Amino acid sequence: MALALFDQYGYDAVTMEQIAAAADVARGTLYNHFPVKEAVLVQALHVQLASELGPLLQKAMTRRGLLAQLTGVFEASAKWWEAHRDYAAPYIRYRFQTISDGQAGQSDSEMQTLYAQLIERAQAGGEIRDDIAPVLLSGHLHFLYLGAVLRWLENRKVKLTKELAGALAFFMAATMPR
């Protein structure tokens, strides 16, 4: 419902009062669950991500090898973000704010768990170096991902798929077996 309002009127123009009215809830009730509009956006995007990105991620997981799997994940993610570019900056701003407030980010932890599982399998198969814990490598990969998204946001001429491919190439080069 909130995304429909954002799509119709633009994210910046929509107020919490409009969201409450569209949801047929009292404004106070909305604020009890979502302290700011960005929190509504994050929740709405997570619901949409779960339904739209999930099948794309499953398809990526059928690929053989870490590079092919991560390429599939990053390509699916790029496609999704490119279709939702107008929401990326407020989404990321709010996510960084919740991190600094000590709140764990569910979607971030889910992606890092996925990365760690893929990395652990690749390490067990000798595909990448195994002297660094998968959870640490997944964190590094996630920060590379975020850096690519931030570069894409700051420059409309940048292609997200290219930025993510560069981040992935850097990660893979750093994790090659010694």
Residue 175: in which H helix or E strand, if any? none
* 116/87 same-domain check: yes
* 169/85 same-domain check: yes
C-alpha–C-alpha distance, residues 95 and 136, integer Å: 20
C-alpha–C-alpha distance, residues 72 and 173, integer Å: 18
CATH code for the domain of 156: 1.10.357.10
For the chain, the first-to-last Cα distance in angstroms comes to 51
* 138/97 same-domain check: yes
* 43/86 same-domain check: yes
* 18/98 same-domain check: no
- What total of structural domains would you count in the chain? 2
Q: State the residue range of the domain holding 26.
A: 1-33
Would you say 129 and 171 are in contact if contact means Cβ atoms under 8 Å apart?
Answer: no
- Considering only CA atoms, which of 75, 22, 71 is closest in space to residue 44? 22
* 73/117 same-domain check: yes
* 160/74 same-domain check: yes
pLDDT of residue 106: 52
* 89/47 same-domain check: yes
Q: What is the pLDDT along the chain (178 residues), one digit of tens a residue?
A: 899 999 999 999 999 999 999 999 999 999 999 999 999 999 998 888 877 767 877 787 789 999 999 999 999 889 989 988 999 999 998 988 887 655 555 556 778 888 999 999 999 999 999 999 999 999 999 999 999 999 999 999 999 999 999 999 999 999 998 8
pLDDT of residue 29: 95
CATH code for the domain of 22: 1.10.10
* 138/165 same-domain check: yes
Give the pTM: 0.84
* 157/112 same-domain check: yes
- Triad 157, 161, 162: Cα angle to 5°: 65
* 20/57 same-domain check: no
* 115/135 same-domain check: yes
